[in-house]
Amino acid sequence: MSTVQRIAALVAFVLLWTTLGAGTSAPPAAAQDPNRLVVGIGSIPNTPDPHLDSTANALPAYATLFEKLVATDGKGGFRGVLARSWRQVDPTTWEFVLHSGVRFHNGMSLTAEDVKFTIERILDPATRSPWLGRISAIERVEVTGPLTFRIVTRGPFAPLLQGLTVVDILPAAYFQERGPAGFAAAPVGTGPFVFGEWHRQDRMVVRANLGYWRGRPRLDEVVFRAIPEDSTRVAGLETGELDVGVLVPPEQVDRLKARGLQLGTVNLGQGMVVNLRSNVPGPLQQRKVRQALNYAVDKEAILQSILRGHGRILNGQVVGPDAFGHNPNLKPYPYDLSRARRLLAEAGLGGGFEVTFHGTIGRYTKDKEIEELVIGQLAEIGVRARLEIVEGGVYIQRHIARTLGPLWIWAWQYFPAMDADLPLNFFTCAGVGNFFCSRDFDELFAQSRREMDPVRRRALLQRVALLVREEAPVIFLVQTPGIYAAQKRVKGFAWRPDYLMDLHRVEVGPR
Amino acid sequence: MAGYVARRLLDAALGVLGVTTIAFLAIRLSGDPVALLITEYATPEDIARVRRTLGLDQPLWVQYARFLADALRGDFGESLRFIKPAAPLVYSAMPATVQLAAAALLVALAVALPLGMVAGVRRGSAIDGVAIVLATLGQSMPYFWLGILLIMVFAVRLQWLPAFGSESWRHLILPAVTLAMTPMARIARIVRSGMVEVLTQDYIRTAHAKGLRASAVVVRHAMPNLAIPLVTLLALDFGTLLGGAVVTETIFAWPGVGRLVVQAIQSRDYPVVQAVVFYLATAVVLINLTLDVIYARLDPRVRYG
């Protein structure tokens, strides 16, 4: 053989060997087994440790393995999950009683010590839990009995239960014995499914917890597949490789329906708006101008022509009726160009003005189309907005650093706690990345945070909402739709506004 | 030879250092990674604390010096997203990408070599026409578009192959073909034009004259002379292939380095970005180095000067 031939043979061998040899170890996870549900979602948890990933797509997978003390009830209130009951002893002390007979997947019984350990772990900055901020008002947890404990907060902190809706309870003894890495390799919770496999950026497999304290799930196995590309997810639904797929683009709905899939839409706990920077000199400092922009945008057109009827128009507040603190008496700003022009003229800006509009592509459902439509409509009243697209990775940071805008698209997320307190916190003068500042707002909002009586707190948040509508610190658009599709044989699947899925009761029929 | 290799190794090290420095600066100039770690209730104090913990409150040159010192020991810090050391994350995603790239190269060579050869020998024929059209299409089709098209045809319509995933060799076919298209087009082009040129050479006429069969002339005399430009092309294409893998892996949900780095960039997970850039730059530079040495062996006219 000549040198050339020898080298060619070597190259061919190396290529063949790597092609056939590497990486192919796992069994196929296609939707073959009648009792297995394959869920296609944009990403899976970054780690099986639920305290270390707060991304929305991670929440449904974590919820199969772990449980919280409380959950929202979908009507602005709370229901106990691991907590059987709770009551407030004084403005800073809450007393909880756990359900008895709850067992972790390793057979250990749930006790108050596990709750104390869990909360302290999140509170420890060394853990680097992204959930820390939600419960950082907690000063300490006192165990008062095997199933009873007290949570003491630094000062009155009304949204404590909201904070607890993200806290997955872990088994203290097991965790301490295995350490963080050992726990992440074989996580144990109290949820309806037990851990099976986790392959980074690829899939997570969970299996039925036969001894689940509320009865075994009907499915034997659930596979969460990370599929970042929307078109691929839709293709996977069409080929039957996926049983369920979430975040289906609105324009694909008819196509999937024609293929015989079931389609559903949930209005996610996420209010899409255009933020208006009014705490720096410029036209937006005038309330009339901000209101004019709201009158100039046709929300119905966004809903019908871009989202094809999926989603819900925000009625002059950043949360939908599924949130605690939603004000049912508010109405959306009507689409009224002459009123918008009049308000601009009254503000001395009858000739309109030029402004930068920062947008994204692919960060939110149909964001680019919505940005272009809004800009076109603002042009009708002489507001000439220049669209500048900002790369997704730096969007939040520029928001926090206050270098977006004066106009920029944004979605205020309020799941899983489903409470208006979450987004409104950013509208305070001292809020992270704040862009609006009103003393009246700050006073009223602070009052709501100190108010421990839910009825009075709701009324206060509703007053805050009214004030926000009048002040118009944003252009209110829509509540983002979460469109999902499921194969015909899947029974009982629904996606919830808080991004979770009740997989406990889902069934899969024969193919 | 030894002196040549040593000099090339030094060049390679400088190349890797340069690329890594650019990555270090680019990721810092384009945004603040702290945002990834904070949630709704974070206070300015929380943010300051996180920044201190990560050393992001230090001047840029201090951060750079620290980064270099750690990188030399193979330590790129901890991924902000996965809360794990960044380097092993990259190693564990590497086999999937290498597999995909190798399969793509294999597909590209398997199609482009014979096609380019025949097209070159039969210049102006129908096969030549097909080759030219294929080469033009292959080089102009975006990975994204081609990937989705292949899924639509072979997964959705014909149901022959899975649409996504990485579990078996069947899952490899569509992404490999997608990724193969660009190198395939380039290889076919270079083989064809090389063949056309070589065939006019005196030694080919001599080979014909001494009564060799046409196929033997091509395989034994023309092809070896094509090996040199081909090796150069493969070296250059390796980098292109890794670039294409970023898109291809995202479309086909292939869990390799490409997806790792896309998501790392999106979330400003800078330790992972730096580790990926370091290892990919090293891989490209090493492959180029190896091929340069091979090149010198293939062509006696090249001196290790």
User: What tens digit of pLDDT does each residue of A455-502 get?
Assistant: 999 999 999 999 999 999 999 999 999 999 999 999 999 999 889 998
pLDDT above 50: residue A26: no
Check A422 against B40: CB less than 8 A apart. yes
Tell me whether residues A226 and B253 touch, CB distance under 8 A. yes
Q: What are the structure tokens assigned to A26, written together?
A: 């796992």
Least confident of A305-314, A424-433, B151-160, B178-187: A424-433
Q: Work out the pLDDT band at A27, boundaries 50, 70, 90.
A: very low
Residue B37 in contact with partner chain A when CB distance is under 8 A: yes
- The answer to whether residue A30 scores a pLDDT higher than 60 is no
Transcribe B14-43 into DSSP letters: HHHHHHHHHHHHHHHHT--GGGGG--TT--
Q: Does A363 touch chain B (CB under 8 A)?
A: no
N-term to C-term CA, chain B: 9
Alpha carbon dihedral B268, B145, B254, B239, in 10-degree steps, equals -70
Q: How confident is the model at residue B66 (pLDDT cuts 50, 70, 90)?
A: confident
Q: What's the CA gap between B231 and B247, in Å, rounded?
A: 25
- Give the residue from chain A lying closest to B227, CA to CA: A4
Q: Which pLDDT band, with edges at 50, 70 and 90, does B1 fall under?
A: low
Give chain B positions within 8 Å (CB) of A7: 227, 294, 298
The answer to whether the peptide bond before residue A416 is cis (omega within 30 degrees of 0) is yes
Which site among B167, B230, B233, B241 would you substitute to test the A interface, given the most A Cβ atoms closer than 10 Å to its Cβ? Answer: B167
Q: How confident is the model at residue A33 (pLDDT cuts 50, 70, 90)?
A: low
What tokens were used for B199? 């065939």
**Judging by beta carbons within 10 Å of its beta carbon (0-12, 13-18, 19+), is residue B126 exposed, middle or buried?**
exposed
The pair of structure tokens assigned to A375 is: 């800009």
User: Which residue is associated with the tokens 């034997």?
Assistant: A220
What mean pLDDT do residues A14-36 have? 60
For residue A73, what pLDDT is reported? 84
* pLDDT over 70 at A28, yes or no: no
pLDDT-based confidence at B7, cuts 50/70/90?
A: confident
Quickly list DSSP for A386-430.
EEEE--HHHHHHHHHTT-S-SEEEEEEE-TTTTBTHHHHGGGSTT
> Residue A86 has which token pair?
């709770």
Cα–Cα distance for residue pair B24/B26, rounded to 1 Å? 6
Q: By CA distance, what is A8's nearest residue in B?
A: B227
Contact A47 B252 (CB under 8 A): no
- B268 interaction partners in chain A (CB closer than 8 Å): 393-394, 397
Place of tokens 């087009």: B185
Q: What secondary structure does DSSP assign to A141-169, as a single string?
A: EEE-SSSEEEEEESS--TTHHHHHTT---
Residue of B80, B99, B144, B164 to mutate when probing chain A, most A C-beta within 10 A:
B164
Q: What is the DSSP string of A25-75?
A: -SPP-STTSTTEEEEEES---SSS-TTS---GGGHHHHHHH---SEEE-SS
Question: What is the distance between the alpha carbons of residues A164 and A9, in angstroms, rounded to a whole number?
Answer: 62
Residue B287 has pLDDT above 60, yes or no: yes
What pLDDT does A23 receive? 44
Residue B53 touches chain A, beta carbons under 8 Å: yes
A206 against B268, higher pLDDT: A206
Q: Do A128 and B162 touch (CB under 8 A)?
A: no
A406 prior amide bond cis, ω within 30: yes
Residue B98 has which token pair? Answer: 């290498």
> How distant, in Å, are the alpha carbons of A239, A322, B10 from that of A243?
10, 27, 54
Name which of B39, B47, B260 is nearest A131 (Cβ-Cβ).
B39
| Percent of chain A whose predicted confidence (pLDDT) is above 90 | 74
- Reported as half-sphere exposure (CB side, CA atoms, 13 A), residue A267 has a value of 18
As for the ipTM of the complex, it is: 0.81
The residue with greater pLDDT, A426 or A117, is A117
Q: Tell which A residues from 138 to 167 touch B, by Cβ distance under 8 Å.
A: 163
pLDDT tens digits, one per residue of B82-106: 878 899 999 899 899 989 998 999 9
- Interface contact flag, B164 A232, Cβ < 8 Å: yes
Give the integer Cα–Cα distance in Å for B142 and B145.
Answer: 5
Candidate from A201, A400, A430 with C-beta closest to B259: A201
pLDDT digits (tens, 9 = 90+) for A157-184: 888 999 999 999 999 999 999 999 999 9
Are A201 and B93 in contact (CB < 8 Å)?
Answer: yes
Contact indicator for B258, B249 with CB cutoff of 8 Å? yes
B78 to chain A, any CB pair closer than 8 A? The answer is no
Q: How far is CA A128 from CA A51, A121, A132, A379, B83, in A?
A: 9, 9, 8, 45, 8
Query: How many CA atoms within 13 Å lie on the side-chain side of B197?
Result: 9
* Among B189, B283, B193, B275, residue whose Cα is nearest residue B235: B283
